[in-house]
Amino acid sequence: MATLPANIKDLLSDLIARYRSRVDYLAVRLEAAEGADIFLRSDKIETLTEGIAIGGQVRACHKGGWGFASFNQLSTLSDRIEEAIVAARLVGEEETLLAPIPPIQTTCTLPLTGTDPRHIPLAQKKALCQHYSDILRSISPHITTTSIRYGDSAQHVILATSEGTLLEQSWVDMEMRFAATARNGETVQTGRETTGSRKAYEDLVGLDAQVRNAAQRAVDSLALPPVRGNTYTVVIDPVLTGLFVHESFGHLSEADMTYENPDLMEVMSLGRQFGPSDLQIFDGAAPAGHRGSYFYDDEGTPATTTQLIKDGMLVGRLHSRETAGKLGELATGNARCLNYHYPPIVRMTNTWIERGQTPVADLFNGIQEGVYARNWLGGMTNGEMFTFTAGEAWMIRNGEVAEPVRDVTLSGNAFTTLGDIEAIGDDFFWDESGGCGKGGQSGLPVGCGGPSLRIRNVVVGGEALDEE
């Protein structure tokens, strides 16, 4: 088990006291981590590892300039502090503006509700992956490729700052990903499922039906007609809603994306109306039990819940202490780093659209021709533009769900799409499968949630319309 030295807090306090006068701000974050990683591709084991890592990072700020150093030998800590301070003093030319937070001295652990994955032998985890792989391959001879990925990670972090914070936190995170690709001649279709937890190893066990459904969707899609490309009114399920709010709007709410971009800052001006009056969007690590939940962020700011959209109007954004200080706003507890190799940057936590009041069945009323899309296969965003691929989809005809179709991609502008929301369902689902990437830090655990949505004027890509 990866552990930090018993006297490490005393050592950190002594080092902070020695160096604090040389910069405006100094923070040392130490980390002990351990975990397992398994990857099976078409029944072949490509990765089967367990590992531990002990290291840390130093951040120093002087006249607005930052110095950063990471290390994996605790014996070099004082040298790394010196390096970070020298770098900060070399580049600092302005004013250090960090939103104030109260110093914290506490120890906290995200509680598990079941078995800690560290207590499960690697052979048992491998057997679980093999079991799911067997299910994927058993569905049909048309299944040509399968993949199973398992990962768990336990992190124990100590943060000490020149402002008096001495914070100790620990948590465990787990994730599994399943994929099956089916082929019939030139037609290729893929079904995927992902699940994650910060609660118990048991949450990854007993997923046979979910795994089977992923493979079955791939096989069933081989015989489906592709959707006709057009602009439609669409209904999306809560899983796609969660993906949409995270990818296409959540990243734009991260203040480091805006405060150095005048054009985006103008677009993302507080008080601007983006959606209907019943649209509410939040982000926050304070709600317990989700993969983006924690007590304090990696700067020691307490977890909060930030309302981003209220009654359709932009009212908030996500901050580190630096972005909050430069914009004269409150720190929101959204400074996160993947591990000690990276500095904290502004990241989402759990992002969701609040449930509405429209019964889900009524979302389809009056749609003469539209698309109902569920789940997701993948997607990409570029600024405010997005493109997502649905995991499964059906045509809507005369207010009813009709024939299934494949190759459904949904594209648009995030701001325009928010304004085109016509109705918000009264259902809600938390998707704990997210692993967010930004700034080279990929796989950061997040949660996404929301209700079903009805949206007009969505560009749906598929087979081109025949010319008349």
| For range 198-216, the mean pLDDT | 97
Q: Where are the alpha helices (DSSP H) in 376-465?
A: 414-419
Helix (H, G, I), strand (E, B) or coil at 58: strand
Residues 357 and 415 in one domain: yes
Residues 287 and 258 in one domain: yes
Residues 181 and 248 in one domain: no
**CA pair distance 61, 44, nearest whole angstrom:** 48
Residues 21 and 166 in one domain: yes
Last residue of a domain, one of 165, 196, 221: 221
| For range 185-198, the mean pLDDT | 95
Residues 205 and 256 in one domain: no
Residue 434, domain member (yes or no): yes
Residues 212 and 345 in one domain: no
**CA pair distance 318, 253, nearest whole angstrom:** 6
User: What confidence tens digit (pLDDT) does each residue in 120-148 have?
Assistant: 999 999 999 999 999 999 999 999 999 99
User: What confidence tens digit (pLDDT) does each residue in 334-350 have?
Assistant: 999 999 999 999 999 99
What is residue 90's predicted lDDT score, i.e. its pLDDT?
98
Q: Which of 196-205, 258-267, 395-404 is least confident?
A: 258-267
Of 288, 356, 363, 321, the closest CA to residue 59 belongs to 321
| For range 200-220, the mean pLDDT | 97
Residues 215 and 234 in one domain: no
Residue 155 near residue 30, CB atoms below 8 Å: no
Of 395, 441, 388, the closest CA to residue 245 belongs to 388
Task: Provide the number of structural domains found in the chain.
Answer: 2
User: What confidence tens digit (pLDDT) does each residue in 48-95 have?
Assistant: 999 999 999 999 999 999 999 999 999 999 999 999 999 999 999 999
Residue 386 near residue 398, CB atoms below 8 Å: no
Residue 468, domain member (yes or no): no
Residue 467, domain member (yes or no): no
Please measure the distance between the N-terminal and C-terminal CA atoms of the chain and give it in whole angstroms: 68
Helix (H, G, I), strand (E, B) or coil at 190: strand
**CA pair distance 150, 195, nearest whole angstrom:** 10
Residues 319 and 430 in one domain: yes
Residues 330 and 284 in one domain: yes
Q: State the pLDDT confidence band at 468, using cuts at 50, 70 and 90.
A: very low
What is residue 462's predicted lDDT score, i.e. its pLDDT?
67
Q: Quick one: what percent of the chain has pLDDT higher than 70?
A: 98
Q: What is the pTM of this model?
A: 0.95
Residues 248 and 390 in one domain: yes
Mean pLDDT across the chain = 95
Residue 197, domain member (yes or no): yes
Of 116, 120, 125, 152, the closest CA to residue 45 belongs to 125
